[in-house]
Amino acid sequence: MVPANDTVERRMRRDDYPRTFKPRFRPLLAAMLICCVGLSALPAVHAREGVEVGKNSAFTNLVSADEVERTAQQQYNQLLQKASEQRALGPANHPQVVRLRAIAQKIIPYATEWNPRASGWKWEVNLIGSKQVNAFCMPGGKIVFYTGILEQLKLTDDEVAMVMGHEVAHALREHARERMGKSAATNIGANILGQLLGAGAIGQQLIGGGAQLMSLGFSRADETEADLVGMELGARAGYDPRAGITLWQKMSAANKGAPPQWLSTHPSGSTRIAEMERNLSRVLPLYERAQRS
């Protein structure tokens, strides 16, 4: 009901607004609009480009990264010294050493996304003359290739990049530190079991069984993870990730009998090829972009 003293003009000014949009609601409406605009301006959350392998194992926290890298440096120095004494260490001007270091220079800049510590690593790449079909990267960025893997498999640059990416991935994902952490956890458990059970047959059996398991190399899950991260590292560096498939076709063909050292704990060639094929769509765009740049 309109008050008796209300004039027609005042009623018209008041009734120009629909009920929900009367002047007293305008501050609330403005705040709502600002909020909506602000939310629309926020960057969209997207899945990362490349492969997805999850977080590092919690077992890595049981062992100091600094200590692992210091130990790796000592063992690496000893290896190089021995190779030098045997005249098996490739000189800096060796064509294969030049080749390996050039490939590494393209891959290393993409390492820090997987492990921030890599920015402080003193990366090294060396070649050892040996028939071993083998390569590795120690914690701290110490890379070694044996001539056997290059010569016997006649690796292309793309395939070398897949091998190198795989080995670098082990270091970045701290698989050695994880293995040492698991060993430490087993030793802690063994000590507790020894105190609880004494040195009897049951205690010794449990302790021995745990130690045997922890003495194995990288797990198959670690190897698959290194394959995928290695593919991505190589792709970002401009190397064709499909070379990972041709690499393992060569490995399978060359090793129809007992696997070489590099394959000792790895999944079968057909299994890892299938896993790589499933992830090609994630890394091929990275390779194509690197080719255009």
- Residues β-bridged to residue 145: 127, 135
Cα separation values, 177 from 43, 79, 149, 281, Å: 36, 20, 26, 31
d(CA 155, CA 113) in angstroms, rounded, equals 27
CA angle 152, 153, 158 (to 5 degrees): 140
Q: Which residues contact 206 (CB under 8 A, 6 or more apart)?
A: 190, 193, 197
Residue 4 C-beta-side C-alpha neighbours within 13 Å = 0
Indicate the pairing of strand 135-138 with strand 142-146. antiparallel
Q: Does the annotation count 113 as an active-site position? A: no
The long-range contacts involving 285-293, CB below 8 angstroms and separated by at least 24 positions, are 285/49, 286/49, 286/50, 286/232, 286/235, 286/236, 287/234, 287/235, 287/236, 287/238, 287/239, 287/240, 287/241, 290/235, 290/236, 290/237, 290/238, 291/238
Angle between helices 220-236 and 175-197 in degrees, nearest 10: 160
Q: If residue 196 lies in a helix (H) or strand (E), which one and from where to where?
A: helix 175-197
Active-site option among 69, 159, 167, 225: 167
The label of the residue with tokens 């190089």 reads 80
Active site residue ranges: 167
